[in-house]
Amino acid sequence: MDIEGVHEKIKRIQCSDCSSSFTRSGDLKRHIEGVHEKIKKYQCNYCSSSFSQSVHLKIHIEGVHEKIKKFQCSDCSSSFTRSGDLKRHIECVHEKIKKFQCGNCSSSFTRSGHLKMHIASVHDKIKRFTCSYCSSSFTSSGNMKRHIESVHDQIKEFQCRHCSSSYARSGDLTKHIESIHEKTKKFQCSYCSSSFTLSIHLKSHFQSVHEKIKTFQCSYCSSSYTRSGDLKSHFESVHKKIKKIQCSYCSSSFTDSGDLNMHIESVHEKTKKFHCGSCFISFTQLGSLMMHYKTHHK
């Protein structure tokens, strides 16, 4: 008997839509309905889901309703209801296969969801996480959580071991310890040998010393300064006229130390350091010398 000829003749029912062929007409019918016509005649008795093939219905019931996790991971104790979930678990957790590549940068991820979150937060800058307490929005749920804890809940779980200070973020605690307790000056100026405990202090130094940027503008006149302390001194001495430098010999007070020194030399010490060049008379104050010169020598 020609066995090859018999088997070739048995598989003779050809699908008109694809290259599949079947030995029975019932199999061909189910193939057409399930694959090409997408007829979902297999209805789930537990929910509204329906399927084109009975095997898909069976997988659905076992995985969703009966929660049968028959797909066991060989590397750990995890188990899954679907083979596809097991495959993704192995690739992401054990093999660390990052097959989802970002088209905008070199980043890659083990899961498509992580790639979508990366694109939305880094490249598209989509802030889809909105704070329920205020109008602030964030690119990730983690950033929103930290915002709520630090701003609204004021949860300061990071306690300093050196003092009573506490912080909502570990990074803030680290900066506090380095700058206050350890005095770590890790921010080095690239133009001189100065170093600082905080980056903001380095920035202020760079702007005021090297770039000479006078960012502190007086609101009463056109004067501007590189440091806030200089602006404050200007305001107190020129506009507020705060005479906080007290003379130790009398009740007189002055806005700057130079005026105080002149006062002590001329009034209390009677130091006559201003000498007339035309005669032998000397004076304690420059104004007195100038008046003498105008009166007697001009």
Q: Where do the domains of the chain lie?
A: 3-65, 100-181, 245-296
Q: Residues 102-113: pLDDT tens digits?
A: 887 888 887 777
Residues paired with residue 254 on neighbouring β-strands, in sequence order = 245
- Output the CATH code of domain 245-296: 3.30.160.60
pLDDT in tens, the chain (298 residues): 555 555 555 557 888 888 888 888 888 888 887 788 777 778 888 888 888 778 888 878 877 777 777 788 888 888 887 788 888 888 777 777 777 888 878 888 877 777 887 877 777 777 778 887 787 888 777 888 888 877 776 667 788 888 888 887 788 888 888 878 877 787 888 778 888 877 778 877 777 777 676 777 877 677 888 777 888 888 777 776 666 678 888 888 876 777 888 888 778 777 777 788 788 787 777 777 788 877 777 6
| Distances from the Cα of 207 to the Cα of 196, 233, 246, angstroms | 14, 19, 34
DSSP H helical segments within the chain, as ranges? 3-10, 25-31, 54-60, 83-89, 112-118, 141-147, 170-176, 199-205, 228-234, 257-263, 286-296
Q: What is the third-level CATH fold of 100-181?
A: Double Stranded RNA Binding Domain (3.30.160)
| Distances from the Cα of 175 to the Cα of 19, 138, 252, angstroms | 68, 24, 46
**Backbone dihedral region for residue 294 (phi beyond 0: left; psi -120 to 50: alpha; all else: beta):** alpha
With residue 14 as reference, give the H or E element that holds it.
strand 13-14
Residue 219 CB: number of other CB atoms within 10 A? 7
Asked whether the domain spanning 245-296 has the same topology as the one spanning 3-65, the reply is: yes
| Distances from the Cα of 261 to the Cα of 108, 237, 242, 284, 286, angstroms | 70, 16, 17, 12, 14
- Output the CATH code of domain 3-65: 3.30.160.60
Half-sphere CA count of 257, side-chain side, radius 13 A: 0
Q: Residues 151-163: pLDDT tens digits?
A: 776 667 788 888 8
| Distances from the Cα of 247 to the Cα of 5, 205, 244, angstroms | 125, 34, 10
